[in-house]
Amino acid sequence: MEKMPVLWCIGCGDIGSGVGTALGAKNWEVIGVRRHPQAASFSQLAVDVINAPNDLRKLPSPDYVLYTLTPSERSEGAYTAAYDQAVQSVLSLLPATLKRFFLVSSTSVYPQQNGEWVDEQSPVAHSGFAARALLAGEQHALNGALPASVIRLSGIYGPGRDWLVRRAKADTPVVKEPPKWTNRIHRDDAVGFLVHLLERVEQGQEVEPLYLATDSHPATEWEVMSFLHQQLGLPDPRIATAEADPKMNKRLRNTQMLASGYTLRYPSFQQGYASPTPSLNTPPAVLQNSPPKSSSQN
């Protein structure tokens, strides 16, 4: 009987679990690695990758590793532990026979904020502890001895990620002029693209060392929020005074992502938000002071 590939999903949250579920259904042997395992359609084991990475030695040897671990909090120590130190520790424990290591990173490493178009070749910035930690983890992966790819995801939206919907329901003022460009990728496309890359390698096809993963329609904050107000049957957003935000106001280009052969399920936010999701039907919620990391629109 043909041996099926073994995949470790490290930091097996929503994205990792989605990938594990999809590949497990195709008879891959998927092992979810997280501090507190949850019920899933594939095996999940309790390993504290940050504090006890050597426990990974107890697992079956992997053919692939998908690293989606996120920091426990937004602090320099937590980011350094998750992206710099833990990535380095995990890589040191992997077999030389590993087919590929996939690291999920973020487009927040791009500093552009004047509406520029950005792709894989655009300059990154090491300013800020989050970007420094992310880029350190990327360098550990890309400069190591094992085959590796880094996937920089833009802001993830979809079921369970309803920060913008709550902003609309709370009637939060929105910047209209000057245009404030935002970018995003639907949760299903984030999962789908990672599955696509893993399957490409398993089929003996080439993949790039770096991908920028986002949908095909950068949009201004006003455009997105006006659409959500309309979908929710609300009046147009109130207009806010523009404020500088170094993490926003750039346009991300997904040419290399699409060149890999992946077809977006939701090429634009209109398609993603118009699809049936619980988020558009939930009652108004108290707006949090800041969005969760996965909801940013970098």
Each residue's pLDDT tens digit, 206-261: 999 999 999 999 999 999 999 999 999 999 999 997 665 556 789 999 999 999 99
- Give a yes or no: residue 33 inside a domain: yes
Q: What is the pLDDT of residue 17?
A: 93
Residue 155 dihedral angles phi and psi, to the nearest 5°: -60, 125
Percent of the chain with pLDDT over 70: 88
- Give a yes or no: residue 129 inside a domain: yes
Each residue's pLDDT tens digit, 162-212: 899 999 999 999 989 889 999 999 999 999 999 999 999 999 999 999 999
Separation of first and last alpha carbons in the chain: 45
Each residue's pLDDT tens digit, 13-37: 899 999 999 999 999 999 999 887 6
Contact 278, 159 (CB under 8 A): yes
Which among 187, 148, 198, 260 has a CA at the least distance from the CA of 30?
Answer: 198
Cβ-Cβ contacts under 8 Å for 174 (sequence gap 6 or more):
167, 221, 222, 225, 226, 237, 238, 239, 240
Each residue's pLDDT tens digit, 202-215: 999 999 999 999 99
Please state the pTM of the whole predicted model: 0.91
- Give a yes or no: residue 164 inside a domain: yes
- Give a yes or no: residue 190 inside a domain: yes
User: How many structural domains compose the chain?
Assistant: 1
Q: What is the pLDDT of residue 97?
A: 97
Q: What is the CATH number of the domain that holds 138?
A: 3.40.50.720
Q: How far is CA 40 from CA 20, 22, 78, 291, 294, in A?
A: 9, 12, 26, 27, 21
Q: What is the pLDDT of residue 245?
A: 59
Range of the domain at 149: 6-295
- Give a yes or no: residue 1 inside a domain: no
For residue 277, pLDDT beyond 80: no
How many CB atoms neighbour CB 253 within 10 A?
18
